[in-house]
A and B are shown apart, each in its own frame.
Chain A
Amino acid sequence: MSKRARRSIISWLVLSPLMVVILFPFAVMFFTAVKPADEVLATPTAWLPSTIRWANFVEMWQVTGFGRALLNSLYVSTASTLGALIVAVPAAYALSRFEFKGKGAYRQFLLITQMLSPIVLVLGLFRLSVAVGLLDSVNVLVMIYAAFNIAFAVWMLQSYFATIPRDLEEAAWLEGASRFRTVIIVFLPLAVPAMVVTAIFTFINSWNEFVLALTMLRSAESHTLPIKIFSLVAGRYTVEWHHIMGATLLATVPVAIIFGWLQRYLVRGLALGAVK
């Protein structure tokens, strides 16, 4: 057996207990989601349903208003990601290309913004959103999510920007291009991959946020996915677990796929940006 083959087997064996635990909830979601309603709470408990009932998903979609919540989540996540990028890209550029007073203070500030969790601030944020007249509007979430994502976005972007060679920009200056023009023509095209990765990260954070959405959103039409799913569990007189698991699965799988696809880009940016 080659050395690599042996290493592969050992690696998988060592990781497998953890993988089982990680995949366990996904298996629970799937098998509960496709069970006929009367088997969900059956005795004895069983993993496998008697028949796989795909129609559960269709019912769930209609009963819970899943489509509307999906659109809301897509809008909030996309808009807050754009918002975070629009302010984070210049800041990250400044951190990676300039030496200036207050650089350290700004980094400290970013870390502090990470220290205040939404639950601690929720009352203040609520009063703020009333003050600006955006209650029950998904746009207030857009602003808040963008703000909470700035620190990470700046960290990640900056670490990528540091790897983009200065030579190209300097060559453009020598040819007489202004700094601004250089950024647009030379720098930004090179930074696109970094921005894509950062965008995915902030997108997922917004996609999954719960506490703030719960506090700010009023009407069912404005609910995002986590709220929609939570409202199926919280304090109803009867909980329809197969619908909940179906909804959870549908809300999760697309994100998991994108995430899995792009995780290798996350690795570099996140770590380097946070440390440097």
Chain B
Amino acid sequence: MSSRLAPAYLILPSFFLAAFIILFPLWDLSQLATHNVNRFGQIRYFSGFENLLAVLDDSLFYQSLWRTVLWTVGVVGGTILLSFPIALILNEDFAGRGLARVIIMLPWSVSLTMTAIVWRWSLNGQFGLLNKTLQDLGIIGEPIVWLASGATAFPMQIAIGILVSIPFAVTVFLGGLSSIPADIYEAARVDGASPWQQLRTLTLPLMRPFINIALVLNVIYVFNSFPIIWVLTQGGPANQTDILVTYLYKLAFRFGKMGEASVVSLIMFALLLAITLLYTRMVIRDEQTR
């Protein structure tokens, strides 16, 4: 093979497989979004922006959009804030570090659906082991019915979301920390920098790209995450925990509004694309200033 074309031969198989599986459905969605579609997804006739207007006319769409922002910011923010110090600790040399790392990574190895099922069972108002434990410890007096209102259910869902997102962020941060050469800290110590100053002036700037990638990938995953909210509350009660994916799922499969659901899918994709482009510019600016 000629070496000018070699990269193409090497890359194309992966490109075609991914494009086939991912771009074809995207095209299909845009068809559904611009047509009148019956409840079984059978396309009837071209209807332009009718589906889009119907979505934009629904107050639940805006509620879900707003809650998606809360959900994403809450989970990703909490994850990053918790994961960074955890990664710093796990990067230190201490007895049993291997075991500690394994425990922190554990939630990653359980399917989200199963995690959510276990939590649903644990959060049961009458029979749940969470209430039982909190009561035994004297933290709460009466059992709390966690899933009865959005006020208790949604923070709980965000907390579970953080818990399952920590392993990924910690992994990325640990990788980043291990790539920072130890001698620059030596030099800083010689110059009399306190550990806090070292963290601020050395670690944080060097970790910038890793924080960026953890942020962007987490935003993508959390924004699209379905099982935790669906299994725990299905977006209820009274739509108080609905985010865009659960709203989309109900539109498509419960109310049979395929066209509108496709519009929501595409809006979500556009939002993520915008966030990612922003990220790319951020990284480029980052590299230029360095």
Contacts and interface: CB of A to CB of B under 8 A. Distances in A.
User: Is there a contact between chains A and B in the complex with CB atoms less than 8 Å apart?
Assistant: yes
Interface of A: 4-5, 7-8, 11-12, 14-15, 18-19, 21-29, 31-32, 40-41, 43-47, 83, 86-88, 90-91, 93-95, 98, 100, 103, 106, 108-117, 119-121, 123-125, 127-128, 143-144, 146-148, 150-151, 154, 179-180, 204, 207-211, 225-226, 229-230, 233, 241, 244-245, 248, 251-252, 255-256, 258-260, 263-264, 266-272, 274-275
B26 A128 contact: no
B82 to A, nearest CB: 7
A143 B262 CA distance: 23
5 tightest A-B CB contacts, nearest first: A271-B175, A124-B25, A117-B224, A208-B111, A147-B21
Interface in B17-33: 17-22, 24-29, 32
B198 to A, nearest CB: 16
A71 B284 CA distance: 46
A45 B129 CA distance: 7
Nearest to B266: A120
Given A4-B93, A271-B172, A210 B112 contact: yes
Nearest to A272: B175
Contacts of A119: 224, 226, 245, 248-249
Contacts, number: 285
Nearest to B268: A120
Contacts of B152: none
Contacts of B74: none
Contact of B132 (A46, A93, A245): A46
A150 B6 contact: no
Contacts of B168: 270
**Does more than half of chain A's interface fall in helix, strand or loop, or is it mixed?**
helix
Contact of A91 (B11, B96, B261): B11
A7 to B, nearest CB: 5
B107 interface: yes
B34 to A, nearest CB: 14
B106 interface: yes
Interface in B119-162: 119, 121-122, 126-133
B269 A115 contact: yes
B203 interface: no
A129 to B, nearest CB: 10
Given A15-B89, A115-B269, A127-B28, A259 B109 contact: yes
Interface residues of B, number: 102
B113 A210 contact: yes
Contact of B13 (A47, A90, A268): A90
Contact of B15 (A45, A109, A179, A207): A109
A153 to B, nearest CB: 8
Given A259-B105, A274-B217, A275-B210, A124 B26 contact: yes
Interface stretch (B60-68, B186-194, B272-280): B272-280
Contacts of A147: 17-18, 20-22
Interface of B is mostly: helix
B7 A229 contact: no
Contact of B14 (A127, A150, A252): A150
A266 B249 contact: no
Given A114-B220, A123-B252, A128-B24, A14 B95 contact: no
A266 B110 CA distance: 16
A251 B18 CA distance: 28
A260 B224 contact: no
Nearest to B167: A263
Interface string B77-96: 00000100110010011111
B273 A25 contact: no
Contacts of A211: 226-227
Given A12-B100, A120-B269, A275-B213, A47 B132 contact: yes
A113 B22 contact: yes
Q: Which of B26, B109, B130 has the largest number of chain A CB atoms within 10 A?
A: B109
Contacts of B248: 119-120
A47 B129 contact: yes
Contacts of A44: 132
A22 B25 contact: no
B95 A5 contact: yes
7 contacts: A11-B100, A15-B86, A22-B107, A127-B41, A241-B121, A251-B114, A271-B173
Contacts of A251: 111, 114
Contact of B114 (A41, A248, A260): A248
Contacts of B182: none
Contacts of A272: 175, 179
A26, A83, A95, A267: which has the most chain B beta carbons within 10 Å? A267
A98 B8 CA distance: 10
